[in-house]
């Protein structure tokens, strides 16, 4: 049996000698990303409140329209997806 041991984990001494890697993010970009994400979420909520109320009235009268109402209720979800993607683009400094 070989006497040398190979470890796949670093020792505590090796970990202490390494400097922690910190991400440097511009504070203005972080605030802009937060505003973009919050705007997308708030916009989605405002859009869905009217669609949801009207949709419930339609479904109460004509239950067969459920699929169509669900489709219109899901369309505003793209707002938060766009806000999230733009926020990530800002944080990663892609543009």
Rounded-to-integer distance, Cα 80 and Cα 73, Å: 14
Q: What is the pLDDT along the chain (95 residues), one digit of tens a residue?
A: 555 555 566 666 776 666 666 566 788 888 989 999 999 999 999 999 999 999 999 999 999 999 999 999 999 888 899 999 999 998 888 87
**CB of 55 closer than 8 Å to CB of 72:** yes
Q: How far is CA 83 from the centre of its chain?
A: 8
Q: Which distant-in-sequence residues (6+ apart) come within 8 Å of 69 by Cβ?
A: 55, 58, 59
pLDDT of residue 42: 94
pLDDT of residue 20: 63
């Amino acid at each position: 049996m070989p006497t040398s041991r190979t470890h796949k984990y670093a020792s505590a001494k090796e970990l202490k000698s390494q400097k922690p890697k910190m991400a440097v993010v511009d504070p203005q970009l972080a605030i802009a990303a937060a505003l973009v994400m919050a705007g997308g979420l708030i916009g989605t909520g405002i859009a869905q409140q009217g669609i949801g109320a009207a949709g419930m009235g339609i479904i109460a009268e004509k239950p067969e329209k459920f699929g169509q109402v669900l489709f219109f209720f899901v369309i505003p979800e793209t707002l938060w997806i766009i806000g999230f993607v733009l926020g990530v683009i800002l944080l990663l400094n892609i543009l």
